[in-house]
């Protein structure tokens, strides 16, 4: 499977399928090769992936990440293999254990220990004999991994890891655990904004939101942030670490830090300056950072 050095990560909640296809086609026009989409409480992401794949020519769709509590291993394999067979290997599966408030509060399941649950799920997937027409190549599977134990599992039982909401220092740690032979596909939040107060207000909001979720809070603490960085809406220090803001060069420098720390791919997630959806003004950053802009 092709792994591009730079990709785009999009929160699809709120977009119609037609808007997502139009967005994906713009990405293709700018030279991007991969679009990451999420698994939320809206349209099934496998359905969205099929729609985007059908509406594009070469774009790879990566899922960041499929909630394993929503699908049993047979269903997951069926979607992964079916999409890759239908669309020439253009689907990359990312899977995760999600969070207790989603699994229990929204979906009505029982949330269990993440590493043990993911290990059992991967073992079950490995034991399944897919009965449909196979894709030309074995599909790629990565797992959401923040802590050392989940990263070790990504190394031992998957093709790599997809960390979310992390820093270049975390990328270096993840690469050390994964070793040289596994994929490290990281997400990085970005904003084209030179006003420090405006950018940090957005960054503090991101920190505050993530820190309210135990898995991410623990990740922040492991990355060296103190409780004071996470309290009262988050500190500027934490905001600057999670959100890469400034001009094009400043954002490129952060992306380069991840590459230098061992990332195979950096998936940039542009933060909207107003509202929930990206505007043409927000998308200017994607055009500036696009592979075609470097040719």
**For residues 31, 253, 264 and 37, what is the CA-based torsion angle, rounded to 10 degrees?**
-60
pLDDT tens string 51-71:
999 999 999 999 999 999 999
Instruction: Give the tens place of pLDDT for each residue, 76-92.
Output: 999 999 999 999 999 99
Please give the mean pLDDT across all residues of the chain.
96
Is 181 in the same domain as 70? yes
Same domain flag for 155 and 282: yes
Final residue belonging to a domain, choices 226, 245, 264: 245
Rounded average pLDDT over 144-168? 98
> How many CA atoms are closer than 13 Å to the CA of 155, on its beta-carbon side?
16
Asked if 123 contacts 143 with a C-beta cutoff of 8 angstroms, the reply is no
| pLDDT value of residue 295 | 56
Assess contact for 268 and 289: CB atoms under 8 A. Answer: yes
- Quick check: 279 pLDDT over 60? yes
Q: 99 and 234 share a domain?
A: no
Q: Say whether both 229 and 259 belong to one domain.
A: no
| Residue where a domain stops, chosen among 222, 245, 268 | 245
> Which residue shows structure tokens 């960390």?
163
User: Measuring CA to CA, which residue among 212, 223, 210 is closest to residue 173?
Assistant: 223
Report yes or no on 258 lying in a domain. Answer: yes
Whether the Cβ atoms of residue 133 and residue 85 lie closer than 8 Å to each other: yes
| 122 located within any domain | yes
Return the closest-CA partner of residue 93 out of 49, 32, 156, 54.
49
Tally of domains in the chain: 2
Task: Judge if 252 and 267 occupy the same domain.
Answer: yes
The model's confidence at residue 105, banded by pLDDT at 50, 70 and 90, is confident
Residue count of the chain: 295
Residue 79, φ and ψ in degrees, nearest 5: -70, -45
Query: Do 179 and 224 lie in a common domain?
Result: no
Same domain? For 93 and 29 the reply is: yes
Let me know whether 270 and 234 are in one domain: no
Q: What is the pLDDT of residues 224-269, one digit of tens each?
A: 999 999 988 889 999 999 999 999 999 999 999 999 999 999 999 9
In whole angstroms, give the CA distance from residue 153 to residue 157. Answer: 6
Question: Can you give the residue range of the structural domain that contains 224?
Answer: 195-245
Could you tell me the two tokens for 218? 């623990």
Question: pLDDT value at position 233?
Answer: 82
- My answer on whether 183 and 221 are in the same domain is no
Judge if 105 and 209 occupy the same domain: no
Residues 211 and 175 in one domain: no
Does residue 289 lie within any of the structural domains? Answer: yes
Q: Are residues 229 and 257 in the same domain?
A: no
């Amino acid at each position: 499977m092709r792994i591009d050095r730079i990709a785009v990560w999009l929160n699809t909640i709120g977009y119609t399928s037609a808007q997502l296809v139009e967005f994906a086609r713009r990405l293709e026009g700018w030279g991007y090769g991969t679009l990451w989409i999420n698994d939320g409480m809206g349209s099934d992401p496998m359905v969205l992936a099929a729609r985007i794949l059908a509406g594009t020519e070469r774009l790879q769709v990566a899922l960041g990440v499929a909630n394993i509590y929503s699908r049993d291993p047979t269903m997951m394999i069926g979607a992964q293999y079916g999409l890759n067979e239908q669309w020439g290997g253009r689907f990359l599966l990312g899977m995760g254990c999600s969070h207790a408030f989603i699994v229990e509060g929204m979906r009505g399941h029982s949330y269990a220990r993440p590493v043990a649950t993911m290990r059992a799920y991967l073992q079950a997937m490995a034991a399944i004999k897919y009965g449909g027409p196979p894709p030309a190549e074995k599909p790629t599977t990565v797992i959401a991994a923040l802590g050392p134990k989940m990263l070790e599992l990504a190394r031992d039982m998957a093709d790599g890891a997809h960390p979310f909401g992390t820093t270049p220092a975390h990328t270096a740690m993840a690469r050390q655990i994964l070793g040289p032979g596994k994929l490290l596909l990281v997400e990085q939040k970005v904003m084209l904004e030179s006003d420090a107060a405006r950018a940090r207000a957005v960054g503090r909001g991101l920190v505050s939101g993530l820190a309210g979720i135990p898995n991410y809070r623990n990740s922040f603490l492991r990355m060296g942030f103190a409780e004071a960085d996470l309290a009262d809406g988050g500190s500027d220090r934490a905001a600057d670490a999670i959100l890469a803001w400034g001009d094009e060069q400043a954002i490129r420098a952060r992306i380069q830090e991840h590459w230098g720390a061992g990332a195979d791919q950096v998936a940039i997630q542009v933060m909207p300056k107003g509202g929930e959806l990206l505007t043409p003004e927000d998308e200017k950053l994607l055009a500036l950072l696009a592979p075609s802009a470097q040719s």
